[in-house]
Each structure stands twice: as C-alpha cells, then as structure tokens.
Structure 1
Amino acid sequence: MTDKVKYSPYQMPTGGWGSVKSLATNAMQQRAARAIPSLLKDHNKTGGYMCTSCAWAKPKKAHLAEFCENGAKATFWDLTAKRTTPDFFAQHTVAELLQWSDYELENQGRLTHPLRYDPVTDKYSEVGWPEAFADIGAKLKQYDRKSVVFYASGRASLETSYMYQLLARLYGNNNLPDSSNMCHETTSVALPQSIGTPVGTVLLEDYQHTDCILSFGQNVGTNAPRLLHSLQEVRERGVPIVVFNPLKERGWQEFVNPQRASQMIPNRPTEIATQYYQVNAGGDIAAMIGMAKFLFDWDEDAKAAGQERVIDEIFITEHTTGFGEFEAHVRNTSWRDILDACGLPKAAIEAAAQTYAKARSVMALYGMGLTQHRHGVSNVQMLVNLLLMRGNIGRPGAGICPVRGHSNVQGQRTVGIAEKTKLVPLDRLAKQYAFEPPREDGLNTVEACEAIVRGEINAFISLGGNFVRAIPERELMEQKWRHLDLSVQIATKLNRSHLVTAATTYILPTLVRTEIDEQATGPQIVTMEDSTTCIHASRGKFAPASDVLRSEPDIVAQIAKHALENNPTVPWDEWVGNYALVRDAIEATYPEQFRDFNKRLDIPGGFARPVPARHRQWETETGKASFIVPKSLCSSFAQGAGDDVLRLVTLRSNDQFNTTVYGFDDRLRGIRGSRMIVMMNPNDRVRLGITKGGDARLTTAVDDGVTRTIVLKVIDYDVPTGTCAAYYPECNSLIPLWHYAEESKTPAAKSVPVLAAPA
C-alpha cells in the first residue's frame, strides 16, 4: 500500500461534516444503517447499551447523540450485516489468510459458529459447542496449573470478568494478564505510590468547576472524542487548556460539535487548546520540572513581598510527604538540561507555568503518551507532583485524570482481573467459594510473552482481543506461539491472533454488547466501569448475528464446568441464567465498592465507586500523598544515544480502535491510502539522506543480537526534531519485548529507539 499513500495537511476541525461523512460511509460499507436510530435512542444512555469503544464517562444528562465517530464505527462493525461463516473458512486456508491485512480480516464480518483448526487441511471447520468445551476442558485438566494463561481484553463486562478471574483462580493460578498491562498499568503502579489509589480522582462534574486543564500525551480527537463535549463547554467558560504533545493533533486544535446547527452550518469551530507545546517524545518530565522551577521562584518572590503564596504550603504540610527532597531536586536541575530534554524554549515553559499558577482548581489529564515510556511511572508521578504543589487533588474541579482506552479495561481490574495478588481480596474469595486461592503472583502481559518464548506455557485462553497483533516482538512471538498446545480465542470477528495457530486452536464466537442476551430468566443486563470509576448498566437491543452464538458468561461458565472439579459453592449455571446473581456475588466480594449493586444499575451517569483521594484520604504507607522525585529528566531511553537515533512514537489513526482498523485513511492527519508510513521532521529526513516522498528503512537501534526492521513511506510532518511517528500495530515488530516501563512492564511504545535510512 505504500505506493498509494497521499498526504495533505487536514485543515478542517475535528467533528463537523468530516465526522458525519465518515459515519455515513462506514454505516453503508458495513450495511448497518439499521443501527442509526438506536445510536440516537440507546447509545450510552440509561436503559440502553454502553459503547464498546472507549471508556470515557457518560453524563447524567445525555446529549441527543451520546456517541462519537469511533464509537459509532465500533457499533456499525459489531452490527454489520457481513458474516464469516464456516463456508468462508472452507474456501480459504490459514496460510492464505495470513497474507490479508488487519482490515481485510475483520471486514469479513461477524463470526457465526464455533471453529476448530485442522492442521492437515490448514483450514478451520465447524465444531459443536459440546465437543469444543469437552476437548478444552480435558486438555486443561492435563496441564501444569502454572502453564496456562487467562488473558482478558477490555471489552468484557464486569459480570464476565468476575467469572473469568474466578475460573483462573479455581484452576490454580493468577495468570491474568489483560489489555491494561499494555496501556495504563503504569498508572496502576504510579498513582498508589503517590496518592494511594490506582485510578483517577476526577468525575465528569469536575469539568464544570475547573479553572484550568493540563493535558500530557493524549490525543482526544482519536482516543476519546466524546470528551470534546466537556472540553468545549470548559472553553466556552473561558477556561484555558494547556496541551503538551509531540504531534499537533486536530482534536486539540478545533472542534465543531455535530449537534449544534449554529456551528455546523457555518462550520464555525471552537478552539480547544489555548496553549500547545510540541514537547520531545519522552521530554514531559523535563517540561514539568521547568514549570515547577518557575513556581518555586515565584513563590519565593511572593513570600518575600508578603503576597499570597504560589505554593499551597498548608496543603503540603497537612497532606504530603517528600516535599523537601522534591524541591531540592527541582532547584538543583539546570535549565540547560531541562531545555535539552524537552525541546521547548524557556519562554514556552514559563507561559504554561503562568497559566497554571493563576488557576485555583486545575485538573491534569493524560494518556499513553506518559505511560508507555521506560520511565513512564516517573512521568505520571511528576504530573501528580505538579498538582500537589498547589493542592490540586481533592477539591471540585481539580484532580488527576488518566484517560483509559477500552470500554471496561478499568472495570475488569476492579473485579479481579489482576495478576498481582495484593490487588485481589483472596481471603474473601476463599471464604466465599470454599477453596484456597493461589497466593503467588501470576504473569502480566510481558511476562506471559517471555514465558511463551521460553516454552513454559501450554495453553492460552483469550477473552476477546487480538493478543498476538497487539504485543511487541511480533515475529518472535508468532514463531513461539505455534509451539503452544492449546489456543482458545473467544471472539466476535476474525483477526490475526486466530491465524497464528497452536497444536489445537479454537475460535469461540460470542455475542456483542449491543445484542440481546437471552438466558433462562429473560434478556440480561451487563455492567461496565468508565474512566471516572462510574458503573453503568447495558442492555442489548439487537437480534444476535447468529442463533449459534453464546454469551461470554456462558462460554466462561462452560469452560469452567469442563475444566474444574465440581464446587457446589460456585453456581455457574445459575449465574448464566441470571446475571443479577453474578452482581450479588461481586457485591459480596467487594462490598465497599458495589454496595446495593443491583439497585443502582440505572442511576443516570452511573454510580461512582469510592476513591479516598477524592476526599484527601491517602491510602499510602505514610497516610499522606507523596512527592516522588523522578528518576530521570527524560522518560525515554538514555540521552546521548547518538544524533542518528530517532524516538519512534507508535500511535493510532482516527480510522482505528486499538488493533481494529476501519480503513486506510487517517483523516485528521491528512494521510490517505496506506498505514505503512512514517511521519518525520523534514530536517531529520534531509540529514539522514532520505528523498522527499521516499521510503525509509527503520531498524531498532539496540544491540541485542536481533534485527528488527520495516520499510515505510516517509511523510514530512510537523514533529520535533529527533522524533518520528508511525502506526500501531504495524510497528510493534520494532519494539523489543524487554523495552518496557520500569516497574509496570508496560511496553515503551511511545519512545522506541530507531535508525532511519534510505530504503
């Protein structure tokens, strides 16, 4: 596809007619126009269904259209009229399908029947549900309990996730890696050390009270477009929004609300970011240290002049520890080092600090541009430090706001999908289900990959997702994956992970959230948690894509019944017949978090789980919030690696959600026709001898005995010198398995060291 690429900078705002046209085109391509009335009536609304795309919050008073471009696309793809039937697999070998693109595979439509791979014919063929469950159960009984992995993608409901984690622990391990390991695990490590909670402190209503928003490493236009409604309302109150991001993303620049005729007809946008700083990839800590230096200097001047302090000394004294060490570190850091690391002029940092210092209630939101670095934990903790300096956690309109990705990725961790035993109430589970849970930590995503490479894993159960495509070190992982004895893929559509087969491979097709889930007691309700810890109910509204499909809770229960010894305290069949009983079980395990669970399902805007830090209650070792000195000015790989080494940022297009690719156009960046491109500063391209519009060979710049390389079309783009950007998951092959965030082991996909040369 590289010869077909076209690039012209996109000058239109986010949203607006471009978004409307994209939705109409996508609905027609998927033959899913029947979903449009329900999008308006039911999507993200009380009594309706919750979006299967991003995890952003749902307001108490819903907008007319409470969906975004990507959410609508996800719904159209879920409700597509296209079907991937056993006849399709009879016509295509796995070897042939491996040559297809991600888009072509998923664009075949919904899977309709359970399938088993036949290595003799190299094809999938239909298998009966009883036969599949019996074989999977028999195999699981034979394995060493530590040699099985139970992976969970972020789309599974709270009910399914709770059952799944119980299946794993009853089976005998805590090998429960999930998609959070690949994105916000860094948050889950950093925030407890700083403020005593693994989640953010901001609620949706805080946007009505904030005086300033800081954003680091987050592309709102692609990754959480519904957040633009709140940001627009914030801007209309005159509130400044300060953005730090290597790329200038259209979502942060201009937005036309498709629900406002006064904006749509004249195409009159709202400016979102009032200050925009293109920091070097990995340079965020330095930028924040620079802001802190200004705050300390101004506070010293104010104190000497008898004026109001810039630093919230009362809050710091009463609620924090480590401030002295942090202050000394900031004051002792030189401006030369700061500016070299962040790539910004000193005046820009001063302007950002002035905006922050003038505001009373400030919230900071961030995405994987902070979490996916070698020092990602320090990234997040430095942002918390900045907030703590002025008491900006624990009051209305202020707080820390990690913007999560998948629709229930945070919620599944809440109900036990976690490899770390300290995060799960094992004693309560032991009493509730009369068994002794395994007490040894399990494998996270990177550790599961490492164990597969070492040949220590026999079976991999995947509750959704496209694991093989999403992880780093793709070539090696695909090679080693084929040595597994069993791969079970619970899925809605065909993807590459289904084609990298084990000795025995099953594809078990399941319902989607928008479909009616009819069980013994009637249509069922499922629940999920959004980025702000609010719990929402979801009711399917559409007929299933196939009469043969089973729900995720049913599939999990059937695997459990065939793989485990009978435990009369675990009512698998009753749970499948009535999901309300699963919610009762969740409440029994987590009474503080899910009080009156079934009674609170339909609270508009969801009900919020308690987060002590919202009330300045710090569940840390000291009982106070902690200032933590960052490990480095640069969160990326070591500085001084050489001028020829670029920092590669991998990212999504606006025509994509995670590994699901809806097309080959990235409208908001003006790139069309191909995903095999690299965005590069023109000065870097010229310096490296690459012709304008030419091809570049990117090679990972590490010396570990492995050659990782890819050829991409070069696009001259507005990125900082020394930074380049290309698409995920295509460039995952350049990321070494060991290149991850210290402490969290989140793949460091936002700063991969690469060499670029003419191809």
Structure 2
Amino acid sequence: MSTKSKQSPTIGENARTAGGWGAARSVGEILLREHVPRSGSSMLAHHNKPDGYMCVSCAWAKPAKPHAMEFCEEGAKATAWEITTRRANRAFFAAHTLQELEQWSDHDLEEQGRLTHPMRWNSATDRYEPVSWDEAFDEIGRELRAISPQQVDFYTSGRASLETSYMYQLFARIFGSNNLPDSSNMCHESTSVGLPESIGATVGTAILSDFQNCDCIFYLAQNVATSSPRMLHDLQDAADRGVKIVTFNPLREAGLERFINPQMPSQMLTGRSTSISSEYFQVKNGGDIAALFGVCKALIEADDALKAMGASKVSGSDAAPDKPDNAAAVAFAASIAAADKKHVLDHDFINTHTLGFEEFAETARRHDWAELERVSGLTREQMIQAARIYAHSEAVLMIYGMGLTQHVMGVQNVHMVANLALLRGNVGKPGANICAVRGHSNVQGQRTVGITEKPALVPLDKLSELYQFDPPKWEGRSTVDTCKAIMQGEARAFVGLGGNFLRAVPETDAMEEAWRKLRLSVQIATKLNRSHVIHGEIAYLLPCLGRLEIDEQASGPQAVSIESSVAHFHGSRGRAKPASHELLSEPAIIAGIAKATLTRGQVPWDEWVGDYSKIRDAIEATYPETFRDFNKRMFQPGGISRPVPARERKWTTANQKANFITPQRLFPELDIGSDAGEVLNLTTLRANDQFNTTIYAYGDRYRGVKGTRQVVFMNEEDILRLGLKEGDLVDLTTAIHVVKMRRVMNFKVVRHDIPAGCCAAYYPEANPLFPLAHHDAKAKTPSYKLLPVRLSLSAQSSRS
C-alpha cells in the first residue's frame, strides 16, 4: 500500500479563526506540491471571474463585481488538483494490478495525477490497458444494447456542466432508462422534496444581494470554512455592518467564530479578525427540530402574551402572566411593545400567504420546554434569546447546509426552517429569504436540465417532440435505490459521469462486494479513485477534459455553463492546456457512447459536440422560461437569474399557498435496544484538506489533526463516562438493530468541543457504518449526520 502521503499522526488544538496566513500558506503549498506555482497562479487570476472559469469545488455564486482574488483555499486546491503535472499514464497502469491498487488510500490514488488514455480492464493481467476510443464506444454500446434499460444506472456527480448533463439525461431516456441517480440524492434531496411542499420552490430563494439587505442571519448546520469558504466574505461584510449572525451547529467551527480575510492587508498584518457569530448555539446531533421548535414556541407564546397585554389595556385588567412559567413570554412581549411593534409574528403575511399556521402554533405551544431542552441540547434561555433576536429583526436570511438535510428527518428539518421563516414573513423580500447551500459546483444545475429519476419533474412531452422518441414514464432509481439494486443483483450496468460513487454511498463493504458482480462498469473521470479500481466483469475508464482545460472543437474553443447555490447560471471558459492529446470532452464521450448504443431518436450528436452553443439552444427550447436568451446572456456579470416564483411570493404549491408543515416528532425513532446510555449519536464531517470524497492531504488544520483521518471527536465527559482516555484506539459499531454488524476500527479518540452524547468522524471513512436503509423516508437522503454508535477499545489499543 502506498503511504507516502501520511505522516506520524498528531493532534493539536482546535482553531478558533479561519483564513489568515494558514489559508495563504495552504494555497502556496498545494501549488508547489502539484508543480504548478506559475501556471496555477495564472489560472487563479481567472477563477470565478465573469469571463473566467467557474470553480470546480463548491457551488457558491460568482459575484457581478468580483474580488481581485475570487477564490478560496478550497477552490485553489481544486484548481491545482486538476491542472497538476502528475500523470496516471500507460506506464503507471502497466506497473500496477488493480488488486494492488485496491490497497491504496483515497489520497494516493488521486495523487497519481490526470488520466491520459482510455483504458479497458484485462481480466487476464488484472490491469487497465489502453484501448482506442472507437473500440471502447463499440463494446460499451454492444453491452448496453444487450441489457434491459431498467437494469442500467446512469450516475452523475456534481461537477458536470449543464450542457453535459442535458446530453446525458437525454441519452439515458432515449435508451429507455430513468435510472438517473446523482450526488444530489446524497446531499440536498431533502431540500428538493421539503421546500416544494413548504414554499413551492425546489431550490433556495436567496440571492447574493440578500447579504447586503438583511439585518439578521440564522446560520444552520453548515461549516463555511471547509465547505464554501468564499461565503466568508459575505458573512464578514454582514458582520461588519452590524448584522447579527445566529449560529446553530453541533461543533464550534473556526469559520463560524472568527475570520481573518487573506485579501485584507490590515487584517493579515495585524492579526485582527472579524467575529462572525453573534450567538453560537451548539445543538445536539439530530436536535435541530427541537431547537427550531423552541425558537418558534418562544415567538408564538410572546405573540400570545402581547395580544393578552393589549386586551388587558382595553379591559383595564393587569397584564400578569396567565401561568407561572409564562413570565418569560410576557417579558419578551414587553420588549416588542417597547420597540413600538404591535405583533411578534407577521399576521398579515400569515393570513394572506399561508395555510397550516394554527395547527403548527398549537403544536409549538404544547411542546414542553424540558423536552425541547433535552432533545436539542440547548437551554430554554438560549432558544428564547434566538427568538428575541429574530423578532427584533426585519429581514432575516436563513442559511442551512447538509447538516440539516442528511438526516432520517431531513425533510422535516427543511420544513422547520421554512416554518420559522414564514412566522415573520421572511421569504420573498430583500434580505429575507432561504439559502440552501449546495455542495458540488453544479449539483443543483444538473437537476434543472433533467438529471432526475422522477419523470414527473422533466418535460417529457417536449423531449419527445424535439427528438422523436417515446420517453419512459416509470420512476427510476435514486442513489439509495441504485445501491439496493446493485446489492440484490438487479442492476447489471453502471455508467458514472464523474464522482467516486463507491466511497460516497453507505454500506461501503457490501457495495464493493456487490459491485464486482456488475456486467459492465463505465467511469468517465479526470483522476483515478476507488470506484475505478473496484470494477465489473467488463470495465472501462474513460478520461475526459477537465472544466479548467481548453476544450477545442470544430467551431473553436468551447464554453460551458453552471448553476450556483443561489440559482444563477454562469458561463465558464477553460484556460489550461489539456493533460493529454488523447482526452475527449464529456459531451464528446457521451455522444460517442450514445451513437454506438441507440437505435432510435433523432439527436444531432456530432453537431452538438462541434458547437456547445447548439446544446444551449436545445436546453432553451426544452426549458424556454428558465433559459431565455441563454447563449446571449450566459457571460453577463452576476449570471442569469433562474426564475424562482417564491422570491416574488408566488407559491407554486398544490394549494397555491406557503405551508406551515408540522413535524409530528422531535427526534426519529431509532431501535437501539438496551444499554442506550452507552450509545453516542455520530455525525460525519469534512476536513479542511478535503472536498467531498477527494482527500488533498491527511490533515485538518482547523481541528488540529495531522497525518491521519482515523479519529473520533468526543465530548470530554463522554470519554470519562465510557472509561476511555484521549488517544485510545477504538472501534465504532452501528448501534441501531441491523441484520449484519457494521464496524470501523482503530479510530483515535480526540477530545473536542461537541455536545455530550454526540461524536463525530470523517466522511467517507465512517461510511461503512451507515446502513443503506438509514435515510429520510421521502427524500431517501442517507442520514450521514445522525447515526447511533457504540465504542469499544480496539485490539490494537495499548490498553486492550
């Protein structure tokens, strides 16, 4: 096994400040390590600029007026990772069998560099060997035609462009399959299901200008410094003008505490930082619904008390609380009255725009404070304090991430965010909106152009008219469904457009075992990863151009388009020299497979590959309201705003209203049997040196971890209570009742600032613990942020 990337593991102090010289050094280190100090620096000058390229890392927006350096530490790593001078070429694959490469770490596989030639697995030598593109397309086409469309899955990672994604879904549907699982199924599907029910939008309603117009931000369950560092500029600007930022998050994260902006010499030279969070509430894993119910309860009870105070003035009676524990609500109401406000809630908005308020309000009133405290991990005073700030603000921006969506109750978590926003009309006005922070760069946009397993979300009639075929109407497989089909032998072929599917999904061990039984596995990729070295009976590894590379086609250099987290479409132009003259673009590879496979449909594949503007014309023809004048506007500064009716308080729900949707539980029912006191609720995390399944290095600067990722972060009280000590090696086992025990071994215990009863470990190292069935019932999003586990000393522990 290659171990050159690892160091002797050490654990230091948790950082309290993000950015600064640490971020600057990290950018310099990655450019040097990938041997691109000059070319990388030149590329970064065009990073997220209006006429430049869109970052291949997170999906945060390209502003109309960018900073001089419109990139962050994570974006710089992603750029260096793609334009590296390292090559996984013919000589590399000739020197290594896949059985050998299976023993390599995630980092060491990708660190070999860019793939250079199309490869086919040779079962006799157990090696990937070069093959011509025509041979690859011909055999893939023959194999696909021999398999039922219901048995083929077309997976998409979050980085493929709008043009590529449109072609890919069209190919799958003409082939006869709606099996289009994608990375959104694993991250924000709870948003795609929950928000339409609440406000009629499949995406958040926020835009960048909301940061300038809000007077309060509620920041929920997202680690900005690791997942979307460029947003720190927007948070810093808001904090500097006095906006209160109220944070709910289990761990104290550096980026949510303080930020030193590397682009501000006054901060870099003096060490002066900006305080980000005005209030920081460490909610327990899975305690989000209880915490938000507590805030809502405080608002509703204060509104009730304010009404009673007004009635008492009319009647001349005293405004005493009607029950002993209502004193806090009365005091809260008095503070609202002192500010010359007549209501805590926005009753005009509620009455005009919403349904379901009375049921929700009555449920909030009935919830017992003690139970809300127990489940959320917050005190009553903390929840009331959050409510006070909220009530005294006029335009509140709600920001949340995968800490809410990757849950057994992920959809209800999203409903609760919407419920809180609706109480004071904080949807559809400047500064007051909902921002669902997406992960990968175009994961949101892929769904916009048809990457979905749900045919009801796609204009099938229009596709049929444009391309002369009868689209399949049956509902396809989501990511969880695809995993189940592979494990049960119902899936026979898997085509992967990017990503590292096997490392991203739950039940890693069982999935790898089942994966080898696939008849065909095809991977379109830029770099080698574990999903490539585990393979089907016939396996192809097809290297593609990266987004940062010059894509020269018949009509000249091409551009592609991406959708950001705030639902704006942006153009992107590559500027780097391609890693190999053998590489094809993603559209060219899809067209090649499609032409070798399909026997129906009328699609000008070759014309599209020669000129991507024609693909954009086709996208506009399919979605005319969303992509009006697409080619003409795609490089306009600030991007093209996607129509989201809820931004204008137009509710495209079934009842044409925004809906208060009342969760029936505070916490999911999880069967953990006896000895519940020994169980901790695990959440998974991303490290500072990581993006999704890509591991840039074995470290996490913000959490003081060096040389390892095999750690479990624990509260000090839990370490003592369970008879452990910091530095022990422990095994983690799944605590909910499952047929087969799931375990990860030899994780080092690290003391951390995390609520008692909770623990945390890195994704994807902890993924083998997660049962496939442990997901949201509606969205099927894996519950990577909540899993009951038990800990025991490992056999390798010095004390075992």
TM-score range, shorter chain: over 0.9
- Does the C-alpha gap of structure 1 residues 730 and 118 become closer, same or farther in structure 2, counting only changes over 3 Å? same
| 1:753 partner SS | strand
Gaps of 5+ in 2: 311-336, 795-800
**TM-fit CA distance, 1:707:** 1.2
Q: Is residue 733 from structure 1 mapped to residue 768 from structure 2 by the alignment?
A: yes
The alpha-carbon distance between structure 1 residues 639 and 486, as it changes in their structure 2 partners (threshold 3 A), is: closer
Instruction: State the shift of 1:639 in Å.
Output: 9.0
**Alpha-carbon distance in structure 1 between the residues aligned to 2:524 and 2:673:** 45
Q: CA deviation at 1:101?
A: 0.4
> Residue 551 of structure 2 aligns to which amino acid in structure 1?
D
Equivalent in the alignment of 2:579: 545
The aligned counterpart of 2:73 is 69
Post-superposition Cα deviations, 1:232-270, rounded to whole Å, max 9, x if no partner, equal: 000011000000111000010010111110111011100
In structure 2, how many angstroms separate the alpha carbons of the residues matched to 1:639 and 1:311? Answer: 40
2:683 and 2:441 mapped to 1: Cα distance?
24
2:156 maps to a residue whose letter is: A
Match of 2:386 among 352, 364, 374: 352
Q: Secondary structure at the match of 1:315?
A: helix
Aligned-residue offset at 1:703: 2.3
Within the alignment, does 1:109 sit opposite 2:108 as a pair?
A: no
Deviation digits for residues 443-465 of structure 1 (CA, Å, limit 9, x no counterpart): 00000010111101110000000
User: Counterpart of 1:204 in 2: which secondary structure?
Assistant: coil
1:597 to 630, 633, 645: 630
Task: Tell me, in whole angstroms, the C-alpha distance in 1 between the residues paired with 2:241 and 2:526.
Answer: 43
Counterparts of 1:277-676 in structure 2, within 5 Å, are 277-306=281-310, 307=337, 308-567=342-601, 569-635=602-668, 637=670, 642-676=676-710
Say which of 693, 703, 714 aligns to 2:749. Answer: 714
Structure 2 match to 1:54: 58
8 Å Cα contact 2:673/2:737 also seen in 1: no
Q: Secondary structure at the match of 1:137?
A: helix
Pair 1:757 & 2:792 matched: yes
The SS at the match of 2:699 is coil
How far apart in 2 are the matches of 1:256 and 1:687?
A: 37
* 2:316 alignment partner in structure 1: none
User: Which amino acid in the other structure matches residue 233 of structure 2?
Assistant: H
- Give me the whole-angstrom Cα distance separating, in 2, the residues matched to 1:283 and 1:636: 13
CA 1:305/1:366 → structure 2, altered by over 3 Å: closer, same or farther?
A: same
Question: 1:689–1:757: 8 Å Cα contact kept in structure 2?
Answer: no
Q: 1:724 aligns with which of 753, 759, 762?
A: 759
- How much does 1:4 deviate? 3.1
> Using the alignment, how far apart are the partners of 1:695 and 1:756 within structure 2?
10
CA contact (8 A) 1:187 1:371 kept: yes
Q: Tell me if structure 2 keeps the 8 A contact 1:378–1:631.
A: no
Equivalent position amino acid for 1:743 in 2: K
Q: Deviations over 1:17-49 (max 9, x none)?
A: 000001111111111113333344311011111
Counting matched residue pairs gives 758
Q: How big is the shift at 1:539?
A: 0.5
Displacement after TM superposition at 1:52 (Å): 0.2
> What secondary structure, in the 3-state scheme, does the structure 1 residue paired with 2:45 have?
helix
Please tell me whether the aligned partners of residues 469 and 600 of structure 2 are also in contact (alpha carbons under 8 angstroms): no
Indicate the SS of the match to 1:305: helix
Structure 1 residue 474 displacement after superposition = 0.5
TM-score for the superposition, normalised by structure 2:
0.94
| 1:176 maps onto 2:211 in alignment | no
Flag the 1:365–1:520 CA change in 2: closer, same or farther, 3 A.
Answer: same
Q: Distance in 2 between matches of 1:475 and 1:423?
A: 33
Residue deviations 1:66-102 (CA, integer Å, cap 9, x gap):
0010000000000000000011011111111111100
Counterpart amino acid of 1:382?
M
**Structure 1 residue 166 corresponds to structure 2 residue 199:** no
Find out whether 1:206 has 2:206 as its counterpart. Answer: no
**In the alignment, does 2:88 pair up with 1:84?**
yes
Counterpart CA distance in 2 for 1:4 and 1:646 is 28
AA at the equivalent of 1:489: Q
Shift in CA distance, 669/655, structure 1 to aligned 2, threshold 3 Å = same
Partner of 1:142: 146
Describe the superposition over 1:301-351 as per-residue Cα deviations: whole angstroms up to 9, x where unpaired. Answer: 222334510110000000000001001100111111101100111111111
Deviations 1:449-486 (A, max 9, x none): 10111101110000000001110000000000000000
Structure 1 segments (4+ residues) deviating >4 Å: 638-641
Give the distance between the partners of 1:704 and 1:405, measured in 2 at CA: 30
Determine the C-alpha separation between the residues in 2 that align with 1:328 and 1:13.
42
Tell me: CA distance 1:43–1:636, structure 2 relative to 1, closer, same or farther (3 Å).
farther
Deviations 1:711-735 (A, max 9, x none): 2111011111110000000110000
How far apart are 1:12 and its partner, in Å? 5.5
Compute the displacement of 1:702 (Å). Answer: 2.4
Equivalent residues of 1:637, 1:751 under 8 A apart: no
Inter-partner Cα distance in structure 2 for 1:588 and 1:446: 32
2:797 matched residue in structure 1: none
Paired residue secondary structure (1:543):
coil
Q: 1:294 to 1:639 in 2, by over 3 A?
A: farther
1:111 CA drift (Å): 0.3
- Distance in 2 (CA, whole Å) between partners of 1:693 and 1:59 is 45
State the partner residue of 1:246.
250
* Deviations 1:371-416 (CA, angstroms, capped at 9, x unpaired): 0111111011011000000000010001111000000000000000
Deviation at 1:636, TM superposition (A): 7.5
Cα deviation, residue 296, structure 1: 1.1
Q: Secondary structure at the match of 1:675?
A: coil
Deviations 1:125-169 (A, max 9, x none): 111111000000011111111000000000000000000000000
Aligned-partner SS, 2:201: coil
The 8 Å contact of residues 202 and 401 in structure 1, kept in 2 or not, is answered as: yes
| Alpha carbons 2:545, 2:583 under 8 Å: kept | yes
* Contact 2:226–2:686 (8 Å) recurs in 1: yes
Q: Does 1:37 align with 2:41?
A: yes
Indicate the residue corresponding to 2:317 in structure 1. none
State how far apart, in whole Å, the 1-side matches of 2:291 and 2:105 are. Answer: 39
1:216 aligned partner: 220
Tell me, yes or no, if the aligned pair for 1:636 and 1:751 is still in contact at 8 Å: no
Structure index of larger Rg: 2
Residue aligning to 1:19 = 23
Matching residue's letter, 1:477: M
1:638, CA displacement in angstroms?
6.5
CA RMSD of aligned residues (A): 1.3
CA distance in 2, matches of 1:537, 1:623: 34
Q: Distance in 1 between matches of 2:304 and 2:417?
A: 22
Could you tell me whether the CA contact under 8 Å between 1:283 and 1:635 is conserved in 2? no
TM-fit CA distance, 1:635: 5.0
> Is it true that 1:195 corresponds to 2:229 in the alignment?
no
One-letter amino acid of the counterpart of residue 130, structure 1: D
Q: Percent identity?
A: 54
Q: Distance in 1 between matches of 2:511 and 2:709?
A: 22
